[in-house]
Amino acid sequence: MNLKEHRASRAMPERPEAAIGDKRPGFPVRLSPNAGVPSASKRSLGSNASDVFKPQPLKRAVQGLQKPLPAGVGLDSQTVRSRMVDKLAKQGVQDAAVLAAMGQVERHRFVDTALANQAYEDTSLPIGLGQTISKPNVVARMLELLREGKGEKLGRVLEIGTGCGYQAAVLSHLASEVYSIERLRGLHEKARENLRHFRLANVHLLFGDGMEGFAKGAPYAAIIAAAGGEAIPPAWIDQLAVGGRLVAPMQTASGQQALVVIDKTDEGIRQTVLEAVHFVPLKSGTN
């Protein structure tokens, strides 16, 4: 159920059938001190549901906009990104090229203005159409895995799930060419708009079903997916170069999603299952 549906159902009277026949209160109406507080039955929807009603992040974002940040720490400043990079390094990200790329790309340009103040926090954020931009920590971890053992820049890279285009922008600093596919037209267009500012000549945005990969750009030195399915689509393995690596979320035997690394070698395919993750589902077709 999305946020709008929650709000609509909260606006409904408790007993809609009683609202018509009931006596209307006289004036002045005495408001109970608990007016506006969700009733116990509403609160008993569960902790997640009651969290949805709290307009916390928006409130914080608006407060942030009202109080301008001190000089030198505005979102355009390198300082906020350096702080994010320091945190990533403390969390265990070691690849200097990944840290440098993350320090370069202005993440706040990829989210709604109301959420921009949270852009450098280690959190995933909504980007529209029910999708999310991954946490900086997850982006860095996946890019580090993608580059593991490769000293210099990657060659051609295929990204499945462009979303808002943030990860494609980071990748553009780590690869010679980036082919990024998105199945939702609205997001494909949003990413195009977001990326215009950066003028990244080596990022190619494609609209289509990424489960089929993009054969014209194959073979790829690396493939990275930002959406997880029940299995790795065979097209991705076919389009991966020998010596190449694929990093993607995938549903494992336990039903949980985990990060999977696939190496394509002369001897065949090697698959490694890593930590649990929470990505949006990989879906077929376009919309």
Interface positions with ligand SAH (CB under 6 A) = 127, 131-134, 160-161, 163-164, 166-167, 181-184, 187, 209-211, 226-227, 280, 282-284
Query: Minimal CA–CA distance to 146: which of 165, 130, 159, 127?
Result: 159
Query: Which one-letter amino acid corresponds to residue 235?
Result: A
For the beta carbon of residue 277, count every other beta carbon within 10 angstroms.
Answer: 19
* Ordered DSSP codes for 29-77: PPPPTTTTSPPHHHHTT-HHHHHHH--HHHHHHHHHHHSPPPTT-STTS
Q: Whole-number minimum distance, CB 79 to ligand SAH, in Å?
A: 23
The smaller minimum CB distance to ligand SAH, of residues 80 and 133, is found at 133
Q: Is 41 an annotated catalytic residue?
A: no
The smaller minimum CB distance to ligand SAH, of residues 77 and 286, is found at 286
Q: Whole-number minimum distance, CB 20 to ligand SAH, in Å?
A: 44
Q: Whole-number minimum distance, CB 209 to ligand SAH, in Å?
A: 5
CB 219 within 8 A of CB 241: yes
Q: Whole-number minimum distance, CB 82 to ligand SAH, in Å?
A: 21
The smaller minimum CB distance to ligand SAH, of residues 107 and 245, is found at 107
The smaller minimum CB distance to ligand SAH, of residues 227 and 250, is found at 227
Residue 263, strand partner residues: 245, 270
CB 118 within 8 A of CB 56: no
Phi-psi region of 143 (alpha: psi -120 to 50; beta: other; left: phi over 0): alpha
CA–CA distances in Å: residue 278 to residues 123, 136, 210: 12, 14, 19
Q: Whole-number minimum distance, CB 127 to ligand SAH, in Å?
A: 6
The smaller minimum CB distance to ligand SAH, of residues 144 and 209, is found at 209
Rounded distance, CA 97 to CA 76, Å?
21
Residue 246, strand partner residues: 223, 262
For the beta carbon of residue 49, count every other beta carbon within 10 angstroms.
Answer: 14
Q: Whole-number minimum distance, CB 140 to ligand SAH, in Å?
A: 12
Catalytic residue among 124, 134, 172, 176: 134
- Classified as helix, coil or strand, 242 is strand
Active-site annotation, residues: 134
